Structure 1
Amino acid sequence: MATITEGRHACEGLLSEANFHRSRDNITVVSGAGKLVPGTVLGKLTAGGKYTPSPATGSDGSQTAVAVLLYPVDATSGDVQVAAITRDAEWNGKTLTYAGSVDDDTKKAAKHTQLAAVGIIVR
């Protein structure tokens, strides 16, 4: 019998958010970011204000985590508009997905601290 692995569901890790979806914003994921799953930790590029997975280090603004993706997107060959959590929410830390360079607990904890600075608490 074949084993089937189910992917992440939209909004799967969202534990709570502010009233009337005040925690959400429509954002633009930058072209070239690739296929992203719900729960991807995002940073905002200083130039242009678009979002991309937040790396451990960098100098383009995206190194600071400021949002969590709510829905799956494919931004491989073009910008994609999508909803994200950008403030005043709680997220299940077990459902977060990080950029490849965020590869140990210390780097993940740094991302959690950055998210907390914008009001996204990782539980």
Structure 2
Amino acid sequence: MPAVTFENRRDGCYLGESAALNIINEEIVVASGQGVLFPGTVIAKITASGKYGIHDTALSDGSQLPANAVILFNRVDATSADVKAVASVRGPATINGNMLTYKAGMSNAAKIAARNALRVKGLAVLPQHAGE
């Protein structure tokens, strides 16, 4: 289930202009078994536990829903244990779509749906950074 990643990313590398970081970001828990995730990974809430995992349209645990998508702010290693992390959950903020990471093999349509859901939350992925 690992996503394609870039290991040299700094925390919040995807953020453009935004409100104060403490307004758009929240502490979350990334569920055990997700592996090493990097800043800019699109993750989503798992309905039953309230924890987060990689946004994956092939699942049926809530993490497949674009409306549950948020963006991981910092690097985490959730290979073998739950990990507290920070995620951008609402705007206003502009997002550099070139810095977002999705589950490997995710279709362009699924990426667009996730970005549209993020836009509804005020996390505006700039059109020129659409990444299709």
Q: Indicate the TM-score class for this superposition, using the shorter chain for normalisation.
A: 0.7 to 0.9
Q: TM-score, normalised by structure 2?
A: 0.81
* Percentage of pairs with the same residue: 39
Aligned CA distance change for structure 1 residues 11 and 45 (closer, same or farther; 3 Å): same
1:114 equivalent in alignment to 2:117: yes
Q: What is the identity, as a one-letter code, of the residue corresponding to 2:102?
A: Y
2:100 is aligned, of 96, 100, 112, to: 96
Q: What is the identity, as a one-letter code, of the residue corresponding to 2:74?
A: Y
Q: TM-score, normalised by structure 1?
A: 0.87
TM superposition outliers: structure 1 runs of 4+ over 4 Å: none
What is the total number of aligned residue pairs between the two structures?
A: 118
Aligned CA distance change for structure 1 residues 68 and 19 (closer, same or farther; 3 Å): same
Q: How does 1:36-51 map to 2 (within 5 A)?
A: 36-51=37-52
Question: If each structure's helix is expressed as a fraction of its own residues, which one has the higher value?
Answer: 2
Structure 1 unmatched ranges of 5 or more: none
Structure 2 unmatched ranges of 5 or more: 1-5, 127-132
| Bigger radius of gyration | 1
Structure 1 distance, partners of 2:24, 2:48, is 24
